[in-house]
């Protein structure tokens, strides 16, 4: 069995999306594919069992038969961390990861391993990505999210430094149109000269990293006040309405498909939001807006979400998920698969895995 460890330098770079797209492609090409997330800092619950949120989602999309909990053998909860620091819990966790890898890969041709939020993670638990990849004999594919020109160079070189010979290649993701020239003409040739294989450079597609109104409802446990209850509309930007109405209107005109977060008593901000391209209004503090606002929002098809938390708490809740590529919609996954097919040298990736495509 062959294995590929997909990791990143920074959070929300597209690891889960890449695992899903590669997994679907490999399955379509006749390969049996398994999946494992050795270390997780995203504890969730499935049928009263602690499991990683991404692993649960990948299990559904790829049609895996293993229990969700078995797909994420080490989920770091606050209790597990305390046990680790005090020496009262399990010592070496690598045997548990190795056993989970063997189980996930049993009967499979290829095992996809998804790393944590970044290459910095795992050290306190004795499970840093370079060590886990080496232990499992995995080739490592790094997906690097573009942030700016200098950080792009440093991120890729840092990945090479940490991973050494186990690094098989890099995919650069979410490159804005204005930075594609630098990425292709300067960064890519430089990396290749340094012996770092660049499998592809993906352009930024804002809709892929967008949240739907339904996902925002789940995150905030919000109540919809309007009769308009369309929840599949995409939110590509966030705007916080804590300024004057004039300043808010100026900023809002520059952003499309946005969620505007403001207090329920800020009628001026709410009206400004409804004059621009707004996907939904998020009103904080459990303060109901005026009936006029609800009526106008209904006429425009803009749902109003009411949440009990204050504005800062609401922003913190959204921040934990916004910018993370969530491919719950079939169309979004298909769009990401199409990006890989167009911009990534998949034959070169297949050679890294030792398969024929």
State the CB neighbour count (10 A cutoff) for residue 323.
17
Mean pLDDT of 22-40: 95
**34-45: pLDDT as tens digits:** 999 999 987 777
- Mean pLDDT across the chain: 89
Question: 209-319 has which CATH code?
Answer: 3.40.1390.20
For the cut 70, the answer to whether the pLDDT of residue 330 exceeds it is: no
240 — pLDDT class (breaks 50, 70, 90): confident
Which of 56-70, 242-256, 284-298, 317-331 shows the lowest mean pLDDT across its residues?
Answer: 317-331
54 — pLDDT class (breaks 50, 70, 90): confident
Cα distance between residue 134 and residue 124, in whole Å: 18
For the cut 80, the answer to whether the pLDDT of residue 206 exceeds it is: no
Which of 68-72, 95-99, 236-240 shows the lowest mean pLDDT across its residues?
Answer: 236-240
Which of 69-78, 94-103, 148-157 shows the lowest mean pLDDT across its residues?
Answer: 69-78
Higher pLDDT, 239 or 190: 190
Q: Which CATH number fits domain 2-204+327-353: 3.40.50.300, 3.20.20.10, 3.40.50.12160, 1.10.10.10?
A: 3.40.50.300
Q: What are 129's two structure tokens?
A: 């990505």
Question: Phi first, then psi: what are they for 26, rounded to 5°?
Answer: -65, -40
The yes-or-no answer to whether 2-204+327-353 and 209-319 have a common fold is no
Going from N- to C-terminal start, the domains of the chain cover 2-204+327-353, 209-319
Which of 1-10, 159-168, 327-336 shows the lowest mean pLDDT across its residues?
Answer: 327-336
Q: What is the largest CA-CA distance in the chain?
A: 63
């Amino acid at each position: 069995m062959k294995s590929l460890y997909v990791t990143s330098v920074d959070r929300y770079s597209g690891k889960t999306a890449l695992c899903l797209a590669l997994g679907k492609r490999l399955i379509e090409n006749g390969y049996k594919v398994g999946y494992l997330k050795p270390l997780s800092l995203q504890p969730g619950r499935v049928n009263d069992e602690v499991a990683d949120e991404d692993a649960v989602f990948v299990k559904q999309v790829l049609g895996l038969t293993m229990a969700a909990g078995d797909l994420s053998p080490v989920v770091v909860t606050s209790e597990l961390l305390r046990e680790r620091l005090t020496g009262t819990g399990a010592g070496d966790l690598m045997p548990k990861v190795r056993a989970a890898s063997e189980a996930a890969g049993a009967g499979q041709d290829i095992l996809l391993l998804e790393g944590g939020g970044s290459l910095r993670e795992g050290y306190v638990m004795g499970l840093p990505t370079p060590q886990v990849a080496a232990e499992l004999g995995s080739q490592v594919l790094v997906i690097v999210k573009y942030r700016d020109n200098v950080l792009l160079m440093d991120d890729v070189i840092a990945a090479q430094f940490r991973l050494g010979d186990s690094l098989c290649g890099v995919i650069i993701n979410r490159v804005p149109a204005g930075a594609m020239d630098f990425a292709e003409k300067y960064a890519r040739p430089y990396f290749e000269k340094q012996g770092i294989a660049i499998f592809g450079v993906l352009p930024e597609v804002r809709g892929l990293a967008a949240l739907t109104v339904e996902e925002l409802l789940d995150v905030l446990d919000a109540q919809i006040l309007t009769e308009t209850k369309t929840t599949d509309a995409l939110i590509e930007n966030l705007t916080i309405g804590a300024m004057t109405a004039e300043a808010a209107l100026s900023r809002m005109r520059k952003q499309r498909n946005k969620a505007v977060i403001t207090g329920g008593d800020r009628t001026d901000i709410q009206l400004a939001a409804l004059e621009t391209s707004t996907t939904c209004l998020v009103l904080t503090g459990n303060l109901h807006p005026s009936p006029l606002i609800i009526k106008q929002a209904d006429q425009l098809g803009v749902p109003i979400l009411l949440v009990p938390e204050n504005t800062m708490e609401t922003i913190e809740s959204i921040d934990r998920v916004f910018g993370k590529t969530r491919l719950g919609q079939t169309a979004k996954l298909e769009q990401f698969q199409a990006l890989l097919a167009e911009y990534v040298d998949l034959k070169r990736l297949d050679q890294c895995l030792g398969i024929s495509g």
